[in-house]
Every structure is written in C-alpha cells, then in structure tokens.
Chain A
C-alpha cells in the first residue's frame, strides 16, 4: 500500500488523537503550530472550502486571519483523527462543493457569502456541519486576540481583578 502524505500524517498524529477524551470538547485539546498558511491534511482546495465554511459560521467583519487559523486547527484535528472523522470531513467538503455547483458556481469557496450561508443552511443538521460547528465555536472563540475583538479582556487575576477597576460602575 502506497504511503500517501495524508496517511503518514494520520498515523503520526494518532497518538495525539487519543487525548481528545470527551468528544463534546475534545476539539479544543488539540493545538496546531503552523508556520505557513498551508494545510497539512487537506489539499489546498479542500482547506479553502473549510476556511470558507468557518467564515460562514462566524462571519465577523474582522475575521479573515482568524478564519484561516481555525481552518488550520480543523486540518490538524482531522489529520490526527480516525478514519471516520477524515471520511466525515472529506465527504462533507464534497457535499458543499456539489451543492455549490448545482447553483452554477465552480465550488463552495467561490460563492458569495449569502449564497454560502444558504448552502450551509440546507445541510445544517448533518453530522458534518455539526462537527465543524462545535469545533469552530470552541477554537475560534478560544483565542485571546478574538477576545480582544469582541470586548472580553480574558484573565484578570494578574492585574488584581476588577475590584479597583470598575466592577461596580455602570456608565449609563
């Protein structure tokens, strides 16, 4: 059996997949450290579909770099996951592209944001979308730079909590 790039990565990451524990939050336990914007498990077109799917789920105006980072996190999770997870994602990507082509587009990644949202809405209840949704929400909003964007300062213990900085002051 030929050792494809995909299979090599999958077997090398099998150990880290075991720490995932409760699937409910497991996606958060895997962290990827990427030096470039490319994907390791997904092909570039596949990765681009995942990235646009993330963008559709959490369409913040400032989101571009953060969507890419979460897509790369999903890439690592899927690469380190079992064959069932990999199949779920690869079939899901195909499903998104096919739905997009039925509207006359080249693929999901080429659709306009509103059209992408319609495609996602039409398959919202599928295990694929649910898996991407849970992992996306967990990862995207787990990042300190995203906290800053939405107005959440994160840890406060280092500056002594808010007892001296406005916990009891409502400015309106």
Chain B
C-alpha cells in the first residue's frame, strides 16, 4: 500500500470511497496514477463486522452525524446512507438498471413543467452504453444478457409474479449486482435475506471488497479511513491546492493534490463545497451558478405491503429480487412526468414494525405483525422532478464537532411526484389483490438512500455546477464523482450509473493527466 506525503501533491485526492469514489480510485490507480482516498468512516471486515441484524447494522454503518430535515416531506433522518469504507454500496440492494434512453433528455421529452428545474444531461445513451457494460462487468450484474445468469425467484417475487401476470404485466428477475454463480473471486449468493445489512459472503458487489482491494493491489492507493474532509483548499482563485481533513487520530491535516475529486454523496458533497467558501468564492466553492446544494432529488418512493391467506416467508432470499417495469415509460395521459419501477422489497420484523405505517398501533397493527410470515412487499422507485428549493444548505446555527455548520436537507414533493406515488401505490395494490391479498398497506418513503442532484451536470456554467466529465465549471482541477452530478434522477436505482460515470471520468482524468493538462 502506498503512503504519500501530505505536502507533496499526490496525483489525485478522492473524498469518499463509495460507488463513485471507490470505483474512480480503481480506474486511476490501474492507469498508474497515485491516489489518496479519504473516507470518513472505518474500514469494516464483512466476516467480522457484519451481522444479520437490522438495528445492530443500522447503528454500525449508517451516517448518523447530525443533519437537520426541512421541507414538508422531510423524513426524521434525512438519508439512509453509510459511513464506512465502501460507502452506501454496503447497504444498497444491488439493483443495477441502465437509464432508459429518453431519461438523459427529459427537458426535451417532457417540456417545461411549472415549479421544476428540468434540464437535459449533456451526455446520452449511446455515449454511456460502453461504460454501462464495463460497470456491469466490474459489478458482476446478474440478469438476461448480463455477466451473471439471472437469479432464481424467491417467494416474495413469486407472489408479485402471480399477481402481475394475471394483470398482463411482465415481471422478471431484476438486474442485480449480486453473484448468481461464483464471479471475480467472490462466491454465489446464499439467499440469506440481509442485503441491506452488508453482505457477509461478499456475493453482493461493494467497492469495499471489489474496487478498493484492486486499487490497493496496484501499490498506488493510499486509503485513509476515519478521515473526515473539512474543506477543499485553494492555491489560486481557480485552482485547488488540496483537502483539509481530520485524520484518524483527530489531527487536522492538509493533503495536497494535483486534482481533487469529491465523492461524498449528494448531501456531504454539497456541504463540503459550501463549507469551503473563501472571499473569492463567497457562495461556496464551484458555486458561481448558485446551484450547489439545489435540485436535490431522492426519487419518488414508497412501499406496498400485503397480507396473504397463506405463508409467504418473504424475508428469504435477495431483497430486491424481482421487478415490474411496465410503468417505466413516460405517458402524459397518466397526469405525471416520467415513469417508475416496482421492485420487490422486504424488511425483517424489527424494521417492518418500525416502517410499515409509522404511528400504527393497536389490535390491527398487532394482527399485522402476527402475520409477518404471511406478508409480501414491494418498493416504488420513480423519477422525481428537480426543484430549486429542494436543497442541501448550511444550517444557520447548528455546528458539528469540528465547528462547521451541519447540513439542512429540505424536501417537498412536487405535485406531479405525489400523483406518481399515488398511481404507483394503486398499481401495487392491484398486483397484490390479483395474487389474493386480504390486506394491503401503503408505506410512506423510508429515509432516502438515493440522494441525487445537488451539483448538477450541464453545459451552461450559469445553470450547472459540473461539465460533462464532472469537472467543476469554476475550477481547473476540481471534479465530482457521485450522485450529486445527476442532472435529473431517471427512474432507475442510481448506483450503476454512478459507477459508469466514475469509469468514464477515470478514463478522462488519466488522459488529461498524461497530456499534463492537469
């Protein structure tokens, strides 16, 4: 493992080791670049630190530093993401869907929608296809025409299939970054049912045990866990010097770098840039457009759970095993913009009780829980619309232990987002009733795991934060590599697209550095 000096510029310093940062570290080191990878959380070992227990793992891996919620639809905990090496790839379900081609160009497709800040991505489906394929190979995605064969349906998906097929819909096993056969030195899934708690056998892809060990094997990666970035520092008004951070021993350090890449997830990436303000950048770094922290998206989500007359045992097997994509298209007649998928999802008894219908108690609730093994569940994931006032801002009063303002995460659904959710709930109900459900419950959104769009990508520096390669318009050598660059959210789980963009950015950065353009 490499050790780079603090005061000599390393080629690249990356902040955050999740889907974006972890993948980028691999792409850069394999091309010969030296990388310092700062990660706020600890490095956990799956076999030792992961457990089949929801609350234990929630407290062990989640990002629980103080964050405040705002807006009408804020959740008590604003986001359900991870603070550990590997980032939220430890918790993510594994769903790996490509964007639909039109979703790169939604302003063109949907037209202007009042109250939204819609725009087209500066890149498109054809350009992204080869990177999607590389990402799917790295992640070992299972499914038709993917590196791993499709998974065998679990009982939760069999129930969904039964109802969906009666309605003439087309359920299929999802595209999942979970090994269905041994792949890339990792074993096949044993269907333990704890995808969200960290995959103990390492069958589900994570940068923790895929990209990062590969980067380390090059001898070019200097991974620094438990290292919290505080600010990005400058050497000139348009040139980044490095990163100010607190190391694992609590000492404040500055790592110098030729290039700095921020990959801290949409909330922390925006907060870091805002906290890095200087007299030359009074609104925060990379923020001459005023768009840093704005257009925060988290997908239209919600769950439908149903009770059946006979046992389902839906807790068994891959959580997000199957999908119904019949509603993914854009159809103006439905009264909202964009589409959504219905994906199987299930929770253990502790989280079922906590999330199924917050505030529910009494005999009906006890009866529901008494039939826990008779339940099936699905999750709605749909495109939400970017709105300028849905945002990550600096809290005016509350500071963290380093004296920096904590993030205030504000979210209010657009009227069309609400319509989509209601429409999707009803389609979920129909599927379960067609399968014989006796009771159906609509579950409100969980704290967001898909956090997107606070540093949007675009061609116009007055309306976007980064360019088509993720470079900040305002600075020569600052890049962003996470879901915050999403111009719009699309209807698909975002990890595959984040990984594909990271692979593409790695190729670009290596070329630029070779040409000494950086």
Please determine whether chains A and B interact with each other in the same assembly.
Answer: yes
Interface stretch, picked from A77-85, A93-101, A151-159, is A151-159
In the complex, the answer to whether B370 meets A117 with C-beta atoms within 8 Å is no
Within 8 A of B (CB), among A113-172: 117, 120, 124, 133, 137-138, 140-142, 146-147, 149-157, 160-163, 165-172
B353 neighbours in A (Cβ, 8 Å): 137, 140-141
Q: Which of B155, B349, B369 sits near A168, CB closer than 8 Å?
A: B155
Q: Which of B51, B190, B317, B369 sits near A155, CB closer than 8 Å?
A: B51
Within 8 A of A (CB), among B132-163: 152-155, 158-159
A172 neighbours in B (Cβ, 8 Å): 310
A-B contact count (CB 8 A): 132
A60 neighbours in B (Cβ, 8 Å): 366, 369-370
Query: Count of A residues near B, CB < 8 Å?
Result: 44
Interface stretch, picked from A8-16, A41-49, A51-59, A102-110, is A51-59
Q: How far is the CA of A149 from the CA of B372 in the complex (A)?
A: 9
A149 neighbours in B (Cβ, 8 Å): 370
Is A32 part of the binding interface, using a Cβ–Cβ cutoff of 8 Å?
no
Q: How far is the CA of A21 from the CA of B352 in the complex (A)?
A: 22
Is A34 part of the binding interface, using a Cβ–Cβ cutoff of 8 Å?
no
In the complex, the answer to whether A161 meets B350 with C-beta atoms within 8 Å is no
In the complex, the answer to whether A170 meets B158 with C-beta atoms within 8 Å is yes
Q: A133-B361, A167-B316, A169-B155 are in contact. Are A157 and B354 (CB under 8 A)?
A: no
Q: How far is the CA of A56 from the CA of B362 in the complex (A)?
A: 6
Q: A21-B64, A162-B316, A172-B310 are in contact. Are A155 and B349 (CB under 8 A)?
A: no
A160 neighbours in B (Cβ, 8 Å): 190
A117 neighbours in B (Cβ, 8 Å): 362-363
In the complex, the answer to whether A141 meets B53 with C-beta atoms within 8 Å is no
Is B365 part of the binding interface, using a Cβ–Cβ cutoff of 8 Å?
yes
- CB-CB nearest in chain A for B349: A152
Is B58 part of the binding interface, using a Cβ–Cβ cutoff of 8 Å?
yes
Q: How far is the CA of A57 from the CA of B372 in the complex (A)?
A: 17
Q: A58-B366, A171-B311 are in contact. Are A156 and B52 (CB under 8 A)?
A: yes
Interface string of B4-18 (1 = CB under 8 A from A): 000000000000000
- CB-CB nearest in chain B for A19: B59
Q: How far is the CB of A125 from chain B (nearest CB, A)?
A: 9
Q: How far is the CB of B253 from chain A (nearest CB, A)?
A: 26
Is A40 part of the binding interface, using a Cβ–Cβ cutoff of 8 Å?
no
In the complex, the answer to whether B190 meets A166 with C-beta atoms within 8 Å is no
Interface string of B81-107 (1 = CB under 8 A from A): 000000000000000000000000000
B76 neighbours in A (Cβ, 8 Å): 24
Is B192 part of the binding interface, using a Cβ–Cβ cutoff of 8 Å?
yes
Is B325 part of the binding interface, using a Cβ–Cβ cutoff of 8 Å?
no
Q: How far is the CA of A6 from the CA of B103 in the complex (A)?
A: 61
B194 neighbours in A (Cβ, 8 Å): 155-157
B153 neighbours in A (Cβ, 8 Å): 168
Q: How far is the CB of A96 from chain B (nearest CB, A)?
A: 15
Is B305 part of the binding interface, using a Cβ–Cβ cutoff of 8 Å?
no
In the complex, the answer to whether B77 meets A162 with C-beta atoms within 8 Å is no
Q: How far is the CA of A83 from the CA of B365 in the complex (A)?
A: 32
Q: Which of A24, A25, A124, A151 sits near B311, CB closer than 8 Å?
A: A151
Q: Which of A141, A146, A152, A171 sits near B315, CB closer than 8 Å?
A: A152
Interface string of B114-135 (1 = CB under 8 A from A): 0000000000000000000000
Q: How far is the CB of B238 from chain A (nearest CB, A)?
A: 39
Q: How far is the CB of B355 from chain A (nearest CB, A)?
A: 10
In the complex, the answer to whether B152 meets A157 with C-beta atoms within 8 Å is no
Q: How far is the CA of A14 from the CA of B190 in the complex (A)?
A: 43
B192 neighbours in A (Cβ, 8 Å): 156-157, 161-162
In the complex, the answer to whether B349 meets A161 with C-beta atoms within 8 Å is no
Q: Which of A133, A150, A153, A163 sits near B369, CB closer than 8 Å?
A: A150
Q: A168-B153, A168-B158, A172-B310 are in contact. Are A155 and B373 (CB under 8 A)?
A: no
B316 neighbours in A (Cβ, 8 Å): 156, 162, 165-167
Is B191 part of the binding interface, using a Cβ–Cβ cutoff of 8 Å?
yes
Q: Which of A29, A63, A154, A167 sits near B52, CB closer than 8 Å?
A: A154
In the complex, the answer to whether B317 meets A28 with C-beta atoms within 8 Å is no
Q: How far is the CA of A64 from the CA of B59 in the complex (A)?
A: 29
Q: How far is the CB of A165 from chain B (nearest CB, A)?
A: 8
Give the 9 A-B residue pairs with the shortest CB-CB distance, closest first: A151-B373, A161-B190, A155-B52, A161-B192, A167-B317, A152-B349, A141-B353, A162-B316, A167-B316
Binding site for B on A (CB under 8 A): 21-22, 24-25, 28-29, 56-60, 63, 117, 120, 124, 133, 137-138, 140-142, 146-147, 149-157, 160-163, 165-172
A sample of 28 cross-chain residue pairs with beta-carbon separation below 8 angstroms, ordered by A number, consists of: A25-B59, A28-B55, A56-B361, A56-B362, A58-B366, A58-B369, A59-B366, A60-B366, A60-B369, A117-B363, A120-B361, A133-B361, A137-B353, A142-B350, A149-B370, A150-B373, A151-B371, A151-B374, A152-B315, A152-B373, A153-B315, A154-B349, A156-B193, A156-B194, A157-B194, A161-B191, A166-B313, A168-B317
